[in-house]
Amino acid sequence: MADLTNGFSRRQFLASTSCFGAFYAVAKFIPLPALAAELASDSRVSPTPLVDKGFASVRKIGNGLYATISDTSKGFQTTCNGGFLVGRNAAFLIEGFSSAPGASFQMDALRMVSQVPVKCALDTHYHYDHSMGNSFYGASGVPLWAHASAAKRIVDSYAPMQGVEKDTALATFIKRVRDAKSDMERAHAQSDLDAMTGIFGVANASVLGLPNHPLDPAKLPISIDLGGLTAVLESYPGHSGTDIVVRVPEQNVVYTGDLLFNGLYPVCFDAQVTVSGWRETLKHFAALDKDTLFVPGHGQICGQEGIAMIREVFDDIAGQAEKMYKAGIPVEEARERYIVPDKFKSLFIWAWGFAIGSAITNLYVEWKAGKS
């Protein structure tokens, strides 16, 4: 397995230098922050990782609970966070990651601590960085669970990126950079093009693997008994229309998927994003126990302070957008005019339009429809 990982990472490196482009160049400069002091002293959290491969490390965060935390400054095998739960009778893996070697890495980490059968793996949602490594589970005979819409959305979103030239797939993004009316607009458009180039590179190079165990959100929550360890799967609105979280109530631990970004502006580009729904979801997380440990979809493990921070970010985006909405500023202009306040300058913006611009568009749509 180690050889496979190494072989793949060399190929990925070659691919990244040729077509993944500036997205990777930017992300390379953003190393993962260290574990916050209060978490480092949390008795649930192991001070040293079980394994650290650079691109991701795995750390024990509870009784039978592990978090896989990615550091994209060191590689893109995993890209998102995940983790696994180990009971007496079975294990439960979280995320398909951005490549098969990424998923394989997490499976290897599980096998360092337990040989129990794997009950299943879960994609917390269908996005490429959580699902492009799904083929590993197919090849390993691991049942793959996800929201009932996830399989279709993987196919609809990523199959069109296969068998086409890069410039064709990226044409509308390239045009936006060319047509930009100011340096600021051009920089925003370029950040979107860089992100899309990254998505295209990964989707184009991956064999798509689809979840074979659809979870009907109307039938959630469900409890999974792994033997002395119970996980609860819950569905919430917000980031993608397919979001499932894994909660371990007895230990106050939540694997949120991308319903929580820690240290980054939330990514809101999905066609089914709902900013009002997402803010309600975060309000619900904020009402969980004050000692709750969150494994976010991206960024370092955090406590309730991470939830408070992303809620503040949404408050700020909504506050600025509402002023512009009420002043009659068209959405196309409002998307560009948001100002990052000093207190959020340290947050990483993956791509302007995919994060801030999309949030503002969604807020405008919701206000026009008379929602929030």
Nearer to Zn ion, 93 or 174 (CB): 93
Residue of 195, 171, 206 whose CA lies nearest to 15: 206
Residue 129's alpha-carbon distances to 71, 76, 205, in angstroms, are 13, 9, 13
User: Given the complex with Zn ion, which of 127 and 335 has the nearer CB atom?
Assistant: 127
Size of the site for Zn ion (CB under 5 A): 2
Give the shortest CB-207-to-Zn ion separation in angstroms. Answer: 20
**Hey, what's the torsion of the CAs at 310, 315, 321, 323, to 10 degrees?**
-160
Q: Which two tokens stand for residue 285?
A: 């997380």
Cis peptide preceding 214, ω within 30 of 0? no
Q: Which is nearer to Zn ion, 127 or 247 (CB)?
A: 127
Stretch binding Zn ion (CB under 5 A), from 109-117, 123-131, 201-209, 336-344:
123-131
Length of the chain: 372
Question: Which stretch, 124-132, 271-279, 302-310, 334-342, contacts Zn ion (CB under 5 A)?
Answer: 124-132
Helix, strand or coil for residue 295? strand
Using the rule CB under 5 A, is 127 a contact of Zn ion?
yes
| Region of 127-135, 190-198, 229-237, 332-340 interacting with Zn ion (CB under 5 A) | 127-135
CB nearer to Zn ion: pick between 127 and 147: 127
Contact 273, 258 (CB under 8 A): no
Which span (61-69, 126-134, 145-153, 321-329) binds Zn ion, by CB under 5 A?
126-134
Residue 278 in contact with residue 239, Cβ under 8 Å?
A: yes
| Phi, psi (degrees; rounded to nearest 5) at 75 | 145, 165
- Closest CA relative to residue 83, chosen from 55, 46, 56, 101: 56
CB nearer Zn ion, residue 251 or residue 262: 262
In the complex, minimum distance from the CB of residue 194 to Zn ion, in angstroms, rounded to a whole number: 17
Stretch that binds Zn ion, among 82-90, 94-102, 131-139, 251-259 (CB under 5 A): 251-259
Beta strands in 123-276 (DSSP E): 144-147, 213-215, 222-225, 230-235, 244-248, 253-261
In terms of CB distance, is 20 or 325 closer to Zn ion?
20
Contacting residue, 123, 185, 194, 258, with Zn ion by CB under 5 A: 258
Contact between 298 and Zn ion per CB under 5 A: no
Site residues (vs Zn ion, CB under 5 A): 127, 258
